[in-house]
Amino acid sequence: MTTVVTRLGTLADAHGRVARDLRMSLTDRCNLRCTYCMPADGLAWLPTPEVLTDAEVVRLIGVAVGLLGVRKIRFTGGEPLLRRGLAGIIAGARALRTDEGLSPELSLTTNGIGLDHRVSELAAAGLQRVNISLDSLDRERYAILARRDRLDEVLDGLAAADATGLRPVKVNAVVMRGVNEVDVVPLAEFCLQLGYRLRFIEQMPIGPQHGWDRASMVPAAEILELLGGHFTLSPAPGRGSAPAEEWLVAGGDCHPSGTVGVIASVTGPFCATCDRTRLTADGQVRTCLFSLTETDLRTPLRSGATDEDLAELWTGAHRGKWAGHSIGRAGFRQPDRTMSAIGG
Ligand code: SF4
């Protein structure tokens, strides 16, 4: 069934940007406790009645795609694989048509645990690609960062995504000082050998209890230095609105040529070309990862608002989107909602 709706407009802001990419958080729960994202004991999860139902998620995605010009959906969490209705939500999104008359591009950000058991069902539902978090290939260091000894399951998830034909298979790795700098080169070799698109991410001040400390963040320049000491790198052309700065890697003795990316959210912000809008699992619009305010769509949705009403609210929120984050500048304040309840 194709869903056709009268268009309202686009999610334009006062800085000339238009949001085309919706990051849809499906849950704040996770089965890992990554040190840069979640306290060891977890967090107080969102009460279930406050979490959008599958039908509400698909309806709000329909508003974004059908009325507001969104063309890409990234399902995220917490850990979205913990959402039982994930395949149905993906199928509902796939049935939509963008302003270009196409199905929206559908991707998933996941820690990979259990992906091997679900990937063929998700691909059949319409999933096109995945971003899998993998900070180390060393079992011990993986367990230090994730606070769970589950590396094998992640590797199984990666292999299953690849075997199912999802493309590209992207790998996200956060580099933490004194923990996994030694993994930068082995991770790059591993991904080049298997054709996965690796991106290293600077740790951002959006983790638990406001515990971010710039000294423990490994900046992009240092990551590139580590890579440059082992690989021949050259800048890849054409970045567009993508967060990652991509580098071409020349082929070597034990790996083919390929690319590696670095997401320098802190030292090289890319806010000027940001095309993202976010919806939390409890139905709040966040115009930016670091937003200090949110716009509630859940309450009006449950009180009988029309799709057009919801679209107006969303458009209004986006009109007020700021130029970008102010990390490292006076006045920067970390949002109360942590990354685990916003999603990448
Ligand atoms: S920090 Fe905010 S404005 Fe900047 S790129 Fe990220 S979401 Fe966009």
Q: State pLDDT tens for residues 64-76.
A: 999 999 999 999 9
pLDDT score recorded for residue 213? 85
Is-contact 235 174, C-beta < 8 A? Answer: no
| Calpha distance 17→32 (Å, rounded) | 35
Beta strands in 63-140 (DSSP E): 72-76, 105-110, 129-133
Non-local (6+) Cβ contacts of 329 within 8 A are none
Lowest mean pLDDT among 21-25, 34-38, 53-57, 163-167: 34-38
Query: With bands split at pLDDT 50, 70 and 90, how would you rate the model's confidence at 8?
Result: low
pLDDT at 153 over 50: yes
pLDDT score recorded for residue 242? 78
Each residue's pLDDT tens digit, 231-246? 999 999 876 677 889 9
pLDDT at 127 over 60: yes
What token pair was written down for 117? 């058991």
Which of 163, 81, 165, 101 lies closest to 128, judged by CA? 165
High-pLDDT (> 70) share of the chain, %: 97
Question: For all residues of the chain together, what is the average pLDDT?
Answer: 94
Amino acid at 179: V
Rounded to the nearest 10 degrees, the angle between the axes of helix 151-164 and helix 139-146 is 100
What's the predicted TM-score (pTM) here?
Answer: 0.94
pLDDT score recorded for residue 34? 95
Ligand 1 and 271: CB distance under 6 A? yes
Average pLDDT over residues 54-83: 98
Ligand 1 and 270: CB distance under 6 A? yes
pLDDT at 256 over 80: yes
pLDDT score recorded for residue 295? 98
Three-state DSSP class for residue 144: helix
Query: With bands split at pLDDT 50, 70 and 90, how would you rate the model's confidence at 250?
Result: very high
190, HSE (Cβ side, Cα atoms, 13 Å): 20
Q: Provide the edge-to-edge strand list for the sheet that holds 21-25.
A: 233-235, 245-249, 258-263, 197-201, 169-174, 129-133, 105-110, 72-76, 21-25, 276-279, 284-286, 295-296
pLDDT score recorded for residue 244? 85
pLDDT at 263 over 50: yes
Q: Of 271, 286, 342, which is best to mutate to test ligand 1, by the most ligand atoms within 8 angstroms of its C-beta?
A: 271
Q: Of 274, 280, 291, which is best to mutate to test ligand 1, by the most ligand atoms within 8 angstroms of its C-beta?
A: 274
Cα of 49 from ligand 1 centre, angstroms = 29
Query: Which ligand 1 atom lies nearest to the CA of residue 321?
Result: 3
Three-state DSSP class for residue 129: strand
Query: With bands split at pLDDT 50, 70 and 90, how would you rate the model's confidence at 4?
Result: very low
| Calpha distance 255→202 (Å, rounded) | 25
Query: Which ligand 1 atom lies nearest to the CA of residue 289?
Result: 7
pLDDT at 15 over 90: yes
| Calpha distance 260→235 (Å, rounded) | 10
Map out the domains of the chain as residue ranges: 11-342
pLDDT score recorded for residue 226? 97
pLDDT score recorded for residue 7? 52
Cα of 121 from ligand 1 centre, angstroms = 32
| Calpha distance 228→210 (Å, rounded) | 32
Average pLDDT over residues 148-161: 98
What token pair was written down for 313? 């609210």
pLDDT score recorded for residue 344? 77
Query: With bands split at pLDDT 50, 70 and 90, how would you rate the model's confidence at 288?
Result: very high
Output the CA torsion sign for 205, 338, 341, 80.
positive
Average pLDDT over residues 122-136: 98
Ligand 1 and 325: CB distance under 6 A? yes
More confident residue, 216 or 110: 110
Output the CA torsion sign for 193, 197, 200, 205.
negative
Separation of CA 66 from chain center: 22
Beta strands in 27-154 (DSSP E): 72-76, 105-110, 129-133
Q: Of 76, 267, 276, 294, which is best to mutate to test ligand 1, by the most ligand atoms within 8 angstroms of its C-beta?
A: 276
CB atoms < 10 A from the CB of 180, how many?
22
Cα of 260 from ligand 1 centre, angstroms = 21
pLDDT score recorded for residue 5? 44
pLDDT at 6 over 50: no
Instruction: Supply the CATH classification number for the domain 11-342.
Output: 3.20.20.70
| Calpha distance 325→289 (Å, rounded) | 8
pLDDT score recorded for residue 2? 43
Q: What is the DSSP string of 211-228?
A: ---GGGB--HHHHHHHHH
Strand pairing report for 197-201 and 258-263:
parallel
